[in-house]
Structure 1
């Protein structure tokens, strides 16, 4: 199941109802983070823009019951690390991870922990802008 809350071609104003779905906790029981990053990079790679950045917001817990039953406990973690490393090495897309209360540095070379309890709305956006500002044109 791939959920797109806002694609690059949709204005923020029109995407607000879809983005509000992020507040529904029952949507996020399971998620193959590596597969989602791979899929998002494929979609971004097909776009015409010269500069491409992927901002991944995550709870840092790749989880899929069927995959965990068939593989070792860290299979999805390793898969995410491999996928991110592959795309970062290719250099076509800048990837940054934003951990919702969790450090994502084991997965993403550029990451930031977002403390929802401490940061107010404007402060949160300034933190994210600071993270994205670290990407420079090549």
Structure 2
């Protein structure tokens, strides 16, 4: 079982059934192929809270809803040269969202970064030939 994988309600209920039948933790672990620490934490949660259901994640929820994220993504895709401030103003008018610093964080979460392309001179064959002649003259 992977570290980020959620345990099903059925397995949680099976752990509790085994616990109520007075099975030891190590037997439950082997029987259900779950780590002993997970079995122990399910039993502890049941004793403390009276439920084995998973709780919602703690912490601050996202300020930008799914619709706002879609609008942000389409705005950036239309014009990648916009600054974060102008994008925030655009979102404020279209969605009615009051956000400023969130735009920068959301864009990074969507893998959009403020990177400008390096300026590259247009080099024709004749320019390249002149450049090589000039480099040879300077080196010798």
Bin the TM-score by the shorter chain: under 0.3
Higher relative contact order (CA 8 A, sep 6+): 1
Q: Which has the higher helix share?
A: 2
TM-score (structure 1 length as normaliser): 0.21
Q: Which has the higher strand share?
A: 1
